Structure 1
């Protein structure tokens, strides 16, 4: 996987390109609520928080949350956009977080696991910062449990390239279960439509997905030409809802 330097790429457009609708945000918060303890408040970590598209919503729903993000530009954007008093952002990696041991009731990694360079170290670090009995919510794609967005088929080698970014589910589970975690739930969350195909094309043009950095420039251009022709036939057609995987783990005592 080609690494993305978010301080030089994507940070300007990331918040707009990856924004959730209110319906999508409610769907994800509802899914997290279903697998987290009922008591409130909960101390949370949003690991790989990016521009903070989920961090304030987590704070509103569950209690104080710390976004951990290595990119200076992404943190700056998050801080500018988030005014929630219980949401804060710190510099850090999944492998090295500047937070107390056993201080979090839960950690969320939302489409950030595939960016982690030293995954065994991250497993240990997550076990350090989440208290025994706490939860890890891993919204990750897996090579063998991969949602197929409608637009991907228009790009040369689209599904092949995108799937190659991710580990198989069993490999991820083995890493965590050998590092102090146990699986409590695995399922899918139906993410509502993000709007029309025309609107989705405009956001895709911002190229804020890691996928685009893995293709050759001519493949990207060919894909967008194919996609533009397809969307032009019916730009107001709604984007299909997607069923997206969510793995929940518990920190063993």
Structure 2
């Protein structure tokens, strides 16, 4: 898989292209809250935090959060966008986090697992930084459990190319169980609509989804032409909600 260098590409537009509404954030915090211990505060990690789409909301809902992000540019954007007193951002990778052992109650990895280069090492490192019974909540694609993404179907080979970026679910589970984790749950969360079809088209034109880097120029041109034609029929209509797979793992 082609590795995205977020210090050279996407960082300028990522926050705008992948912004979450308050309604979407509430839906995610409700889903996460059902998977985490009821006590508050909790100490959390947002691993692959990017521009901090989720980090401040996690802090508001659950307690202090450390965003771990390798990209300097993405961290700078996150820091400029959030002044929440319980949020900090540090340089690091899922495979190598400059954090004490057993220092967090939970971690989230939200659309970042497919970017991890050494996955077995990352599973061990995540186990190290979490306390016993700590939970990892992973939002990711899984090649054999891909949700239907409405806009992707307008691109030639869209779902096929998207699925090729991800491992099958059993491989991810094997990686973690070999590192001392157990599966605590697997399901689907529906992310509410991000706005109108016209709004969504403008954001998609920024090409901040990883899959766009894996289309040929012809596929991109054809896909956007088809998408524009579909949206032109009713640009003010709400964009469909997006289903997302959520895997929850628990440190033994």
Report the TM range for the smaller structure's normalisation: over 0.9
Q: How far does residue 218 in structure 1 lie from its aligned partner after superposition?
A: 2.1
CA contact (8 A) 2:47 2:69 kept: yes
State the SS of the aligned residue for 2:194: coil
Matched, 1:242 2:242: yes
Which of structure 1's runs of 4+ aligned residues deviate more than 2 A?
none
Determine the C-alpha separation between the residues in 2 that align with 1:3 and 1:222. 24
Determine the C-alpha separation between the residues in 2 that align with 1:191 and 1:153. 18
Gaps of at least 5 residues in structure 2 are none
Q: How far does residue 69 in structure 1 lie from its aligned partner after superposition?
A: 0.2
Determine the C-alpha separation between the residues in 2 that align with 1:197 and 1:35. 32
Matched, 1:176 2:176: yes
Gaps of at least 5 residues in structure 1 are none
Q: What pairs with 1:12-31 in structure 2 (closer than 5 Å)?
A: 12-31=12-31
Q: Residue deviations 1:179-228, cap 9 Å, x none? A: 11001111111111111111100000000000000111221112111111
State the SS of the aligned residue for 2:11: coil
Q: Residue deviations 1:116-164, cap 9 Å, x none? A: 0110110010011111111000111111111121111111111110010
TM-score normalised according to structure 1 size: 0.98
Q: How far does residue 242 in structure 1 lie from its aligned partner after superposition?
A: 2.3
Q: How far does residue 243 in structure 1 lie from its aligned partner after superposition?
A: 2.2
Determine the C-alpha separation between the residues in 1 that align with 2:205 and 2:190. 24
CA contact (8 A) 2:149 2:243 kept: no
User: Which residue does the alignment assign to 1:196?
Assistant: 196
TM-score normalised according to structure 2 size: 0.98
